[in-house]
Amino acid sequence: MRKILTTLLILFLTTSFHCFGQTAPDDEQADIKKLSIAQLLDCFDTPGPCGDNGDWDIADELVRRKYLASLLKRYWREPKQSIRRGIEYVAYRFDSHEVTRFMRKVIASKIDDGESRYYPVNYLAKKCDRNALSALRGNDYNKQNSLQWATSLELFGKCAYRPAIPFLVELVNSADLNIAIAAGDSLDKLYPSHPDLKSPDIAKQYYCRRAAAEGFKVDCSVSESLEK
């Protein structure tokens, strides 16, 4: 099933590329390497001197400067939501005990970062933290772009987190191919004895039956076309 969905996704992306054209060359963007730390942080709130560089470009420049410790201290006294969110992006790039503690505190404090603390939750979910994996289910995190959200869905399979099975079953035949592929990938890992599933709809029915047999509450009603 993954091969079928991947082929469809490649065709879609190729078509989209020709329809919308190439992105502007990098040399049209502001050179953020010349900006001060203060200017970069301000850019999370107002683009200003950072031009067309996005929040992740700014975060990566701060990562390059290894300015993490001071940023984590500033986070707790920073009044602007947008800058707090930007600091979370910087922290997200580091894999350390210090950042793990920071992300846990952000979640426990229920800080408003404008994204329902998606990146702190996802950071911990990548470490297979069960509380973080639980938080990813059914939240409004699917408002993230589908490529990013798909990476979160893959964590359920990677971490063998079975409580997510009903959630994944609902998404395995999603109209969004990124989501369908990721959900199917996780279900394949959670049910390694699966047969070759020819389509997303067939996959949904198969995994739905497996989930129901395992005691999960799922709706396994079969469409008329599949019954035939």
Q: In the predicted model, is pLDDT for residue 143 greater than 60?
A: yes
Q: CA 9 to CA 86: how far, in whole Å? A: 31
In tens, the pLDDT along 80-93 reads 999 999 999 999 99
DSSP symbol at 88? H
Domain parsing of the chain, residue ranges:
31-114
pLDDT at residue number 1:
59
CA-based nearest residue to 151, from 121, 130, 131: 121
C-beta separation of 2 from 178 below 8 A: no
Reported as a pLDDT band with limits 50, 70 and 90, residue 20 is very low
Q: How confident is the model at residue 183, as a pLDDT?
A: 95
pLDDT of residue 225: 44
The sign one gets for the Cα dihedral 167, 172, 175, 178 is positive
Distance of CA 213 to the CA centre of its chain: 30
pLDDT the model gives residue 220: 80
- Report the candidate in 30, 36, 74 with the shortest Cα–Cα distance to residue 53: 30
The 8-class DSSP code of residue 85 comes to H
Mean pLDDT score of the chain, rounded to an integer? 87
Integer Cα distance of 188 and 147 in angstroms: 19
Q: What is the pTM for the complete model shown? A: 0.83
pLDDT tier for residue 222 given thresholds of 50, 70 and 90:
low
Q: Is pLDDT larger for residue 102 or for residue 142? A: 102
Q: Confirm if 57 and 32 have CB atoms less than 8 A apart.
A: yes
